[in-house]
Amino acid sequence: MFDHHHQKGFIMLHHIVSGNQNGPAVFMGSSLGTTSAMWNNQLPYLEEDFQVIRFDSPGHGKSLEGIQEKASGESSDATVKNFAAQVLELADHLGIDTFSYVGLSLGGAIGQQLALDAPQRIEKLVLTCTAAKFGQPEIWQDRARNVRENGMEWLREPSAGKWFTENYADGNAGAQKLLDDLVALNPHGYSAACDAVARFDVTDQLHEIPTPTLVIAGSEDVSTPPAVVEVIAKGIPGAEYHVVEGAAHVGNIEAPEEFGRLIGNFLRTDVSK
């Protein structure tokens, strides 16, 4: 397993490469407020066949280069389009021409953007617990402002209630680790990502995505409910759609086997036309 930091000179997303070094590459993008550790329990379903590249989203975990501190009244100029461009830079740096991409929530937004901006580079796309537009921009602008003023700790409880089904996090070490990682994030990095989410809306472009796509929703997800996720599945031509029963927003944590199987099987299927 290789743990990479950026090189001097240009922004490099923090990333971890594991699995089969000779296998097809799969990039994994995590949700707003988490790090690449969010995907740890999917690795057993992927590492035998695939070279897995997990990255911390811009402003998250150790991907902090280029984060500007903003006063509480200011917003950053962060966009999901720019986040997607950084993923392509990372692929270039690793010498990877084409790859599959798995993303949850913010990671799924980045995936949709990648398939729109660089379709020739994306072999397969897995979009889980995500949206083509994440509700009203004001919600995210308010959250960004609140975090700039008050830090991250206040997000712990509401996030536990959205990410997981009721009381799940209470006795679960993996869930607690995710929440610990959340409150340890850089507030300016997190708020910039909120600004990016506020600006994101590809609803009218979904039909342009040519990539073979699997879309997964969690039945108990209140952040991106199945009805919101299904918009993506209906919008992308030929997309497959699954609802995982009993899973909330960070559904892969509570339903690792079902997520692992769905993702692994889809990535292994030959979809050549």
Q: What is the pLDDT of residues 128-172, one digit of tens each?
A: 999 999 999 999 999 999 999 999 999 999 999 999 999 999 989
Average pLDDT of the chain to the nearest whole number: 93
pLDDT at 273: 40
The domain of 113 spans 2-268
Asked whether residue 273 is domain-assigned, the answer is no
Residue 211 lies in a domain: yes
Q: Say what the pLDDT of residue 200 is.
A: 98
Q: Give domain status of residue 221, yes or no.
A: yes
Residue 140 lies in a domain: yes
Q: At residue 18, does pLDDT exceed 80?
A: yes
In the prediction, which pLDDT does 197 show? 97
Residue 202 included in any domain: yes
Secondary structure in 3-state letters for the chain: CEEECCCCCCCCCCEEEEECCCCCEEEEECCCCCCHHHHHHHHHHCCCCCEEEEECCCCCCCCCCCCCCCCCCCCCCCCHHHHHHHHHHHHHHCCCCCEEEEEECHHHHHHHHHHHHCHHHEEEEEEECCCCECCCHHHHHHHHHHHHHHCCHHHHHHHHHHHCCCCHHHHCHHHHHHHHHHHHCCHHHHHHHHHHHHHCECHHHHHHCCCCEEEEEECCCCCCCHHHHHHHHHHCCCCEEEEECCCCCCHHHHCHHHHHHHHHHHHHCCCCC
User: Residue 37 maps to which CATH number?
Assistant: 3.40.50.1820
What pLDDT does 223 receive? Answer: 96
Give the pLDDT band (50/70/90) at residue 7.
very low
How many domains does the chain divide into? 1
Q: Tell me if 49 is assigned to some domain.
A: yes
